[in-house]
Chains A and B, each alone.
Chain A
């Protein structure tokens, strides 16, 4: 099959199998910032925004994403530079191996978009689909709170 998707603002032509997932086509087209941890929607490493909605790209058929807008972690800030959420993760010590981090960042972005000042419980539930084996989540919670504070200041 053929079609186009708009990834981080750039329209790309994709050529794919009917069973291919959005994750498959993103990675095949060089978007390796989107990670593959389980291919079952159970780890959250492949999260992207699809028309501004947070999705597991491994659980979206490419055939249902045609013509849509995809935002990945590296495109989150729009200019290729780090977003304040990336900086907050780095500053809070929330990045160990970093394999889960792009997905965590996307989930954080989605959470803070709908809930700009989340409670601890809202943070816990907002990131529930993102597994991390390195950090024990403690510094990830710190990072979300730091990002929240910085975004409020900026906004």
Chain B
């Protein structure tokens, strides 16, 4: 490992103290000049035509500034997905439609002086709805008798399969080798179906936007977004206003996890502000966040693997059916990722076939969610590997260590499967998975506990299980981040980045990268991020890209600044630039021993000789997406009488390359792991027969609280990734993928039952136990 001064240190997050005090403004804290409040009217029906909408009574209400609906708004098709351009998501969404497609779909919006008036106005809208048959089962989506959700000119902006006439918003067919003959070579075949469920991102800050016109009538959006530049582009397109006329400012963000990649509220706020000339404010209630924002796409994944008795997997067939809900946001790419981030992990499988479809249903809409398809697919994959290892009579961890991808190796999947198009070949430059497995196994006591079925209180039985995984670091050849740095005369720097800190601490780690490159302390940097007027472009915070891609831009930019600093120092010291030695906050001429500090450079360049603002810019993309690797371990206690599963201990050991800031990297892993644990066990959307979510509240949804926590241990296992800034890879998403399969494998270790469906609620576990008992004792 290289010897760094700032990188690898747990520098305190620059906004930690002010956030803890509460003095950092979030979107809802921005003072606005008597804003209009925006409220949506939502559908009670899962699928219906809006036959007529009469807003006259609502419009007549004192304090109502406008009612917005299909018949008075732009009808441009777009996607809320918040991706690059052109988006790999279907343009199947309009601001408002003459049709509703799930319980919670938008019918219209009221702008009023207060939220109470807006709500009263909504109650005065006269609607005539014509109910249509609803489609709730994704397996029936392509059935010719099923209702069609989209048949009004919706389209895919990129040339890929899109068949709304079959309710298919995306499809994939990825063959590699010859699976048929591969299966024939196998000594045994393991085949199973796994399902994963909806989940809410449940960021503590709801979706929220504020909008106003600046003195020159430009639209200014202050918004809780992961993608400020995409917001600007998409709002411009939907409302047909030049991008130049829009400014997007991202203040502090109260968590995103993919949920704030969606461009949900901004077009509406901009529209209302433009129509009324007033400031507008729109903040989702918690139940709106649950129902009408976005969820994790439920997925059914079938895995079939042919295995030789020597452990070699000769063929793998994966078929996935993804429920995209009423709109196709991220419908193609989450599905792709379910294969792309999983199938290369066991790269010696010569024959593979990955097929899949994303289909529309009249249910809440899927979207980007931390893990992004990998979570859905690793749930089955790791259980499948556990089953195979058990059949072979080998230890799961030994099996994984033998067959996982190693440094210097590749997988054809990298080349043939990307995000919505072909992938990019890459050779793994760093992989610490083997060490992660060893470190984690020791921490949880794998050898002592696996298969021992230790007893706890009330006859509960303990077991341990594990899961292995990889993710990526940004989207290769697509994601781009920009950075600029300027020098001040006191030797401090202003760093401006398009990258979006949504609470992860990326502002802090980007400073660390610049500080390392310039050999200046992090305190000497002021960062400005995510203001479309003031900072360079960045695609935004998604696809585990910020540290790797935006960090790469910052490093390049800092080195470009260093070059300028060095030129000025050489001029001042009257020596050859190349002879200077870069030392902390200065350059030294080894011959004379004279130094010239950054501060001296600043004063000289501002006020003395060859005056200039030293300023550097850089952009970064990557031809590869180096995967971080992770091994996770769960010890559970299963109560066989009730099916209640308690996670006793949870261990994560991650290779994220060189961690830039270890405490923040651990925080990413811990947060994702706990989210993954409650996703596995307690979080769920409960629907009634009409497709209505009946538990859209924190008190009924099931996210883990402090009192539900297992003991947690997290280990960073550093590697040096040559493509990453100072050896770094990503760490934001990966750790949400392992808890569900690790827990499922631990439950099997404890009580010998397999849970193929998420969430693994006490009732599901109890039922599986009952079924296995009745199979064991057919007479009983």
Q: Consider the complex of A and B and state whether they touch directly, i.e. have CB atoms less than 8 Å apart.
A: yes
Residues of A whose CB lies within 8 Å of any CB of B are: 32-40, 42-43, 45, 72-74, 82, 85-87, 89-91, 93, 95-102, 105, 123-141
Query: In the complex, which residues of chain A have a beta carbon less than 8 angstroms from the beta carbon of B712?
Result: 136, 138
Decide if A138 touches B714 in the complex (CB within 8 Å).
yes
B94 interface residue (CB < 8 Å to A): no
Per-residue interface assignment for chain B, residues 195 to 208, with 1 indicating a CB less than 8 Å from any chain A CB and 0 otherwise: 00000011111100
Query: In the complex, which residues of chain B have a beta carbon less than 8 angstroms from the beta carbon of A34?
Result: 22
Decide if B705 touches A131 in the complex (CB within 8 Å).
yes
Closest to A143 in B: B20
Nearest CB in chain B: distance from A94 CB, A: 8
Interface centre among B21, B283, B504 (most CB of A within 10 A): B21
Decide if A40 touches B22 in the complex (CB within 8 Å).
no
Question: In the complex, A134 Cα to B670 Cα: how many Å?
Answer: 8
Starting from the known contacts A32-B28, A97-B502, A139-B670, 12 additional A-B residue pairs (CB-CB under 8 Å) come to A32-B25, A37-B254, A39-B286, A73-B21, A73-B22, A74-B23, A86-B20, A87-B17, A101-B22, A130-B705, A136-B671, A136-B673
Per-residue interface assignment for chain B, residues 22 to 33, with 1 indicating a CB less than 8 Å from any chain A CB and 0 otherwise: 111110110000
Question: In the complex, A128 Cα to B699 Cα: how many Å?
Answer: 12
Nearest CB in chain B: distance from A141 CB, A: 8
Query: In the complex, which residues of chain B have a beta carbon less than 8 angstroms from the beta carbon of A39?
Result: 285-286
Q: A40-B286, A97-B254 are in contact. Are A133 and B204 (CB under 8 A)?
A: yes
Question: In the complex, A106 Cα to B23 Cα: how many Å?
Answer: 15
Say which size band chain B's interface belongs to. Answer: 35 or more
B253 interface residue (CB < 8 Å to A): yes
Closest to B672 in A: A136
Decide if B22 touches A37 in the complex (CB within 8 Å).
no
Nearest CB in chain A: distance from B713 CB, A: 9
Query: In the complex, which residues of chain B have a beta carbon less than 8 angstroms from the beta carbon of A35?
Result: 22, 26, 204-205, 254
Q: What does DSSP make chain A's interface, helix, strand, loop or mixed?
A: loop
Decide if A38 touches B671 in the complex (CB within 8 Å).
no
Partner of B675, one of A72, A73, A74, A136: A136
Partner of A37, one of B204, B673, B709: B204
B503 interface residue (CB < 8 Å to A): yes
Question: In the complex, A39 Cα to B697 Cα: how many Å?
Answer: 10
Can you give 21 A-B contacts (C-beta < 8 A)?
Answer: A33-B21, A36-B283, A40-B698, A42-B286, A42-B699, A43-B204, A90-B13, A95-B17, A95-B19, A96-B664, A96-B667, A97-B255, A97-B503, A97-B504, A98-B24, A99-B255, A105-B20, A124-B706, A127-B705, A128-B706, A132-B204
Decide if A37 touches B706 in the complex (CB within 8 Å).
no
Query: In the complex, which residues of chain B have a beta carbon less than 8 angstroms from the beta carbon of A82?
Result: 17, 20-21
B296 interface residue (CB < 8 Å to A): no
Nearest CB in chain B: distance from A68 CB, A: 20
Question: In the complex, A140 Cα to B709 Cα: how many Å?
Answer: 12
Decide if B667 touches A134 in the complex (CB within 8 Å).
yes
Query: In the complex, which residues of chain B have a beta carbon less than 8 angstroms from the beta carbon of A141?
Result: 706, 709
Decide if B16 touches A90 in the complex (CB within 8 Å).
yes
Decide if B22 touches A74 in the complex (CB within 8 Å).
yes
Query: In the complex, which residues of chain B have a beta carbon less than 8 angstroms from the beta carbon of A135?
Result: 667, 670-671
Partner of B698, one of A42, A95, A99, A137: A42
Partner of A98, one of B19, B697, B709, B714: B19
B252 interface residue (CB < 8 Å to A): yes
Question: In the complex, A148 Cα to B187 Cα: how many Å?
Answer: 60
Decide if B22 touches A97 in the complex (CB within 8 Å).
no
Per-residue interface assignment for chain B, residues 489 to 509, with 1 indicating a CB less than 8 Å from any chain A CB and 0 otherwise: 000000000000011110000
Query: In the complex, which residues of chain B have a beta carbon less than 8 angstroms from the beta carbon of A127?
Result: 705-706
Task: Give chain B interface residues in 614-671, CB to chain A under 8 Å.
Answer: 663-664, 666-667, 670-671
